[in-house]
Structure 1
Amino acid sequence: MTILIVGATGTLGRQIARRALDEGYQVRCLVRSVRRAAFLKEWGAELVVGNICNPDTLAPALEGVTAIIDAATARATDSLSIKKVDWDGQVALIQAAIEAKIDRFIFFSILGAENYPNVPLMEIKRCTELFLAESGLNYTILRPAGFMQGLIGQYAIPTLEGQPVWMTGESSIAYMDTQDVAKFAVKALSVKETERRSFPIVGNRAWSGKEIISFCERQSGKEAKITNVPIGAIRLMRQTLRFFEWSWNSADRLAFTEVLATGKPLTADMEEVYRVFGIEQQSIGTLEAYLQEYFSRIMRKLKELDYEKNKQKEVKSSKQKRKKVMF
């Protein structure tokens, strides 16, 4: 089976590519830049230049492809808007998949997207789910809540470096490691019971921002500098950013804080999901283990740097003493 992975250079997409290759699939990646995607080629993937926002590039990329795993989404720094990438681009990809008679289409949405019509990305994901369900394709929709990888920059690094940790809202989120999310994406290709269905893909428990900060403090031995940002300030910032076309993506991303402001947890029961996919819950990593591993590596590296620094000081001091003796 040949799989086309869309969004393969992203945090999630690269883990899907790695997993699919490890399981023996023929992997093709749709990329905008071959240079930026060179690591995928080194892993053994085939690279094809294209862009879902340029429909003319899709038909050649889909030649000989059996299945699509679609992990593409607009980044806050992209020049293209969320609507252009996550709606126009996704519709073009689904239509190209229909023309190419693709057997399986795995799509990533967001947990609870149907509950937030005023949040652009959530509403677009909901509409894309409906469009895909009505397309006639043999689809599977996966709905993660959040990725553990994002917590490093949001909480761990600021705590370590004494920088402000920004807090907005009280909602808790059941984060999952992207490596584990990739397990479900690849497994869906071979499990018939996943066809034409949607599944939540979330971690074993929901964590609030305060709980994560407290955990980071214990692991690092440092006190976090928490800065609480009122939801009103976020809304004002979003309205301001909407005045400038180049900042529309950032404004639309800020709208996601509306989800956090509700106080409702982003989590779901995974018992049936584990059963259907045939994946053992015990094989899925926990947030505690993920952060512990990160801090263990960082603290060990810091100790090594301190050792080298002290060693250099000792050598320098010894040289200075020898100079004094000579003169």
Structure 2
Amino acid sequence: MTLLIVGATGTLGRQVARRAIDEGYKVRCLVRSAKKAAFLKEWGAELVPGDLCYPQSLTAALEGVTAVIDASTSRPTDSLSIKQVDWDGKVALIQAAQAAGVERFIFFSILNADKYPEVPLMEIKRCTELFLAESGLNYTILRLAGFMQGLIGQYGIPILEGQPVWVTGESSPIAYMDTQDIAKFAIRALSVPETQKQAFPVVGTRAWSAQEIISLCERLSEKEAKITRMPLNLLRGVRSITRFFQWGWNVADRLAFTEVLASGKPLNASMDEVYKVFGLDQQETTTLESYLQEYFSRIMKKLKEIDYEKTKAKKKKEKRSPFKKTSN
């Protein structure tokens, strides 16, 4: 089976590619930059040039492909809008997969996307789910809540560096999941007939609020967080202003997602039946406590090593004679 992975250089996509390669699949990755994707080639993947926003580039990439796993999404730093990548690009990919006779299509959506029609990314995900379901492709939709990897930059690093940790509105508890565990579900879906033409929540072992995560990071790092609260109305105002400028559309659409994160409504779902269908063991799923424990253990060990080397160098310097040698 030949897989085409789209978005393979991203946080989730690279884990999907790694898992697929490790399980013996022939992996092909659609990439915009071969240089940035060099690590995928080193792992054993085939790189093919292409871009969702250029549908004509998809035909060659899909030749001989059995299944597509779409882990792509627009990034905050992209010049392209959410609509261009997450709607126009996905529609083009689904249509190209139809034309190529692809047998399976795995799509990553967002949990509760149907409950936030005013949030562009959520509404686009909902519409893409419908479009995929009506396409005739043999699909599986995995609805995610959040990645544990994102918490490092959001909470871990700022707390370690004594920088502000931003909290907005009434924090929504989110069932974050390690992208390595998400990848397990994506690859397993390819071999489990019961996942065909179905949608499943794929979330972590429990939902965590921002304050709970901050408290956990404080305990593990032995440092106190500098919490800065951003009023939700202020963000709404910024979003309204940026909508007036074309360069700000992508920013405004991203800011709209804070409505989800600050609604107070949990992003979580029961996974009992999902584990049964996929034949995976819930006990093997990474918990947020163990994920952050492992991260802070490595960082704290490294920091101690750096402090030790600095102290050693300082003592060595102090042992040098303060008197200069004189010549006769």
Q: Which category describes the TM-score, using the shorter chain as reference length? A: over 0.9
Q: Give the Å deviation of 1:315.
A: 1.4
Q: Give the Å deviation of 1:230.
A: 1.0
Structure 1 SS opposite 2:323: helix
- Write the deviation string for residues 118-177 of structure 1: whole angstroms up to 9, x where unpaired: 000000000000000000000000001000000000011111111110001321000000
Name the CA distance, whole Å, in 1 between partners of 2:122 and 2:5.
22
1:87 aligned partner: 87
Which residue identity does 1:262 align to in structure 2?
S
Q: Give the Å deviation of 1:250.
A: 1.9
Normalising to structure 2: TM-score of the pair? 0.98
Q: Give the Å deviation of 1:239.
A: 1.4
Q: Unaligned regions of 5+ residues in structure 1, if any?
A: none
Name the CA distance, whole Å, in 2 between partners of 1:300 and 1:118.
45
Moved more, 240-249 or 89-98: 240-249
2:189 aligned partner: 188
Q: Give the Å deviation of 1:261.
A: 2.5
- Write the deviation string for residues 284-322 of structure 1: whole angstroms up to 9, x where unpaired: 100000000010000000000000101111111112xx2
1:218 aligned partner: 219
Q: Give the Å deviation of 1:238.
A: 1.1
1:251 aligned partner: 252
- Residue 235 of structure 1 pairs with residue 236 of structure 2: yes
Name the CA distance, whole Å, in 1 between partners of 2:86 and 2:97.
16
Which residue identity does 2:89 align to in structure 1?
G
Name the CA distance, whole Å, in 2 between partners of 1:62 and 1:197.
23
Name the CA distance, whole Å, in 1 between partners of 2:65 and 2:137.
14
Q: Give the Å deviation of 1:243.
A: 2.4
Moved more, 162-171 or 58-67: 162-171
Which residue identity does 2:90 align to in structure 1?
Q
Structure 2 SS opposite 1:11: coil
Following superposition of structure 1 onto structure 2, how do residues 23-102 of structure 1 map, counting pairs within 5 Å? 23-102=23-102
Does the 8 Å CA contact 1:75/1:249 hold for their aligned counterparts?
A: no
Following superposition of structure 1 onto structure 2, how do residues 1-327 of structure 1 map, counting pairs within 5 Å? 1-168=1-168, 169-319=170-320, 322-324=321-323
The count of residues paired between Structure 1 and Structure 2 equals: 325
Moved more, 243-252 or 188-197: 243-252
Normalising to structure 1: TM-score of the pair? 0.98
Structure 2 SS opposite 1:173: coil
Name the CA distance, whole Å, in 2 between partners of 1:212 and 1:201.
20
Name the CA distance, whole Å, in 2 between partners of 1:163 and 1:257.
21
Structure 1 SS opposite 2:12: helix
Structure 2 SS opposite 1:324: coil
Does the 8 Å CA contact 1:77/1:250 hold for their aligned counterparts?
A: no
Name the CA distance, whole Å, in 1 between partners of 2:21 and 2:141.
21
Which residue identity does 1:136 align to in structure 2?
G
Does the 8 Å CA contact 1:163/1:225 hold for their aligned counterparts?
A: yes
Name the CA distance, whole Å, in 2 between partners of 1:20 and 1:262.
36
Q: Give the Å deviation of 1:262.
A: 1.9
Name the CA distance, whole Å, in 2 between partners of 1:261 and 1:326.
68
- Write the deviation string for residues 207-246 of structure 1: whole angstroms up to 9, x where unpaired: 0000000000001111100011111011011112222322
Structure 1 residues 78 and 325, CA gap change in structure 2 (3 angstroms): closer
